[in-house]
Amino acid sequence: MFQYLYDWMQSIAYFMILITILMHVIPNQGYQKYIRFFTGALLVILLLTPVWKLTGMSEDIRKIYEGSDYEEAVERIEEAGADPGDMGQQRTGEVGKAGEEETEIKVEEIQIGR
């Protein structure tokens, strides 16, 4: 029990050190509010971890990702033609695994600052 509490406090300390370094490294002050929001949400999750473990909610959260709803969502994505591990890669006229030719995706030139 004490080892778990020690590990928990250690992970919070590491997280706080990492966030402090990150806040000093970021050159633009405009992004700091977003980073503070995101890291604050992560800190709340870190602080609630022991409470979730005591109440058994951590098992419920894990079951969400192991459940059938998650698997069905992944299957729908795969059926739509997008491989979750293949996101962001440009497809050319290469022959796929099933021997079918994949279509080519073209993107117009993006202009910023007009």
**pLDDT per position as a tens digit, 21-34:** 988 888 778 888 88
**pLDDT per position as a tens digit, 48-104:** 888 878 787 777 777 776 777 777 888 888 888 755 555 555 444 445 555 556 677
Burial of 55 (0-12, 13-18, 19+ CB in 10 A): exposed
Identify the three-state secondary structure at position 95. strand
The answer to whether 15 and 46 have CB atoms below 8 angstroms apart is yes
DSSP 90: P
Compute how many other C-beta atoms are within 10 angstroms of the C-beta atom of residue 106: 6
